Amino acid sequence: MTSAHIWIDTPAGLAPFIAACTAAPWLVLDTEANSMYVYRERTCLLQANAGGELYVLDTLALIAATGWEPLTATAPCPALDGLRAAFARNDRRLWVHGGEYDCATLRRDFALELGGVWDTQQAASLLGWEKTGYGALVERICGVALDKAYTQYDWATRPLDPKALDYAIDDVVHLPAVAQHLEEAILAADLVEEHAIASAAVAASGWNGGFDPADWWRMKGVRDVAKERLPVLHALYAWRDGVAKAHNQPPGRILNGEALLSVARSAPTNFQLLKRSGLKSWLLAEHGEELIALIKDALANPPALPPYPNHREVDDAEVRRERRLKDWRMGESTNRGVTLQVVLPAKALEHLKRYGAGDLASVPQLGPKRIDKYGRRLRELCD
């Protein structure tokens, strides 16, 4: 049965929601997007629990009212500008679960900053709970088993399947009870500062999507491509993105990574050989000759390859520092009976590995409590 909620799909309908978000003692937010179905995803729904009142914003309808188009837009959509002040407040809780994606996409699509973020998945992780997914936490804390049938639903579908709407609303119905339970557990475990640092990192999450012509370096299996075939892979990767954009499909739905690497390895230069690569029939029919010409050109005139992303030489001193830090972190974690993240977050370890411990205040996600507890030892390990 669908929980009682207010559906908002017009700009005029936003006013009561803005008022509710402004007055509520706490907020819960979640979003749904259509990333598996289009080239450039959009936020399709925004679900909110404002002090116990449930709202669902049809963000696609609100976006459409502005004429904003993600494939050509040069600035975020102004559809939710009226929520900026209410969402940015730091004087009350804004509960999310695994909120990195939500924070990043709300910033990307609407230039919304979230203040007062308290992430329940980060809390469960810091506490060392084995299962930290939303469904697992709801079942453990609330005794409710949630439907998992809509994890891959196309949230741009209109009208929404009523059961899909139930699934979306459930994401904000149970989170207050989960969050309140976890807040007590975090306080009892003396992890308030550690959790605040982790939640601040969630709130600051940025969008790292979009096409990067060098990302093929990160593909699983790229090491198995012969050096002389890498120019073919580079050309194919850029070509696939162009076709995906033209068809408004995710690149992986045009040509998945395994098929892309297979074509690059075999570099077929005639139609018969290309057919053996296992490409979809429509792709062969529409783009077969184009692909053959692309491969021939890449073999005859190899393009300059982009450098490996973020590649840098790691010196021996860094390797030794990293080994010492990891060994110490593991031992301290065992001795204290806490997770590795509680002792030293991964980003803090990476910074210390690279730059040493000369300025502990500048180490990301470290914080005063860890500096006070471990500062001297970290300096010794980084010498």
Q: Count of residues for the chain? A: 383
One fold for 6-203 and 316-382: no
Q: Show the CA angle centred on residue 273, arms to residues 271 and 278, nearest 5°.
A: 100
What are 123-152's pLDDT values in tens digits?
999 999 999 999 999 999 999 999 989 999
Query: So what's the pLDDT on residue 311?
Result: 66
Cβ neighbourhood burial of 158 (10 Å; 0-12, 13-18, 19+): exposed
For the chain, domain boundaries: 6-203, 215-300, 316-382
| For range 199-203, the mean pLDDT | 98
Q: Residue 276's pLDDT band (boundaries 50, 70, 90)? A: confident
Strand 53-58 and strand 43-50: pairing?
antiparallel
Inter-axis angle of helices 281-300 and 230-247, to 10 degrees? Answer: 140
Q: Which tokens hold the place of 355?
A: 């730059």
The CB density around residue 116, as the number of other CB atoms within 10 Å, is 17
What are 82-94's pLDDT values in tens digits?
999 999 999 999 9
What is the fold, at CATH topology level, of the domain defined by 215-300? DNA polymerase; domain 1 (1.10.150)
CATH architecture of the domain 6-203 equals: 2-Layer Sandwich (3.30)
pLDDT surpasses 80 at 313: no
- Amino acid occupying residue 245: K
Q: Show the CA angle centred on residue 343, arms to residues 340 and 344, nearest 5°.
A: 85
Query: So what's the pLDDT on residue 277?
Result: 81
Query: So what's the pLDDT on residue 272?
Result: 87
Three-state SS across 122-167?
HHHHHCCCCCCCHHHHHHHHHCCCCCCCCCCCCCCCCCCCHHHHHH
The CA–CA distances, whole Å, from 238 to 73, 123, 211, 286, 295 equal: 21, 40, 9, 17, 12
Q: What is the DSSP letter of 42?
A: -
Query: So what's the pLDDT on residue 109?
Result: 95
**Phi, psi dihedrals of residue 210, rounded to the nearest 5°:** 90, 165
Element (H, E) at 260: helix 257-266
* Contacts with 126 (C-beta within 8 Å, 6 or more apart), sequence order: 186, 189, 191, 194, 195, 198, 339, 341, 342
pLDDT surpasses 70 at 108: yes
pLDDT surpasses 70 at 68: yes
**Average pLDDT for the chain:** 95
Residue in 55, 161, 33 with CA at minimum distance from that of residue 103: 33
pLDDT surpasses 80 at 187: yes
The CB density around residue 299, as the number of other CB atoms within 10 Å, is 15
Compute the distance between CA of residue 134 and CA of residue 7 in angstroms, rounded to an integer. 23
Q: What is the DSSP letter of 1?
A: -
| For range 337-351, the mean pLDDT | 97
| For range 251-278, the mean pLDDT | 91
CATH architecture of the domain 316-382 equals: Orthogonal Bundle (1.10)
Contact yes or no for 53/20 (Cβ under 8 A): yes
Query: So what's the pLDDT on residue 205?
Result: 94
- Amino acid occupying residue 18: I
Compute the distance between CA of residue 329 and CA of residue 350 in angstroms, rounded to an integer. 13
pLDDT surpasses 70 at 1: no
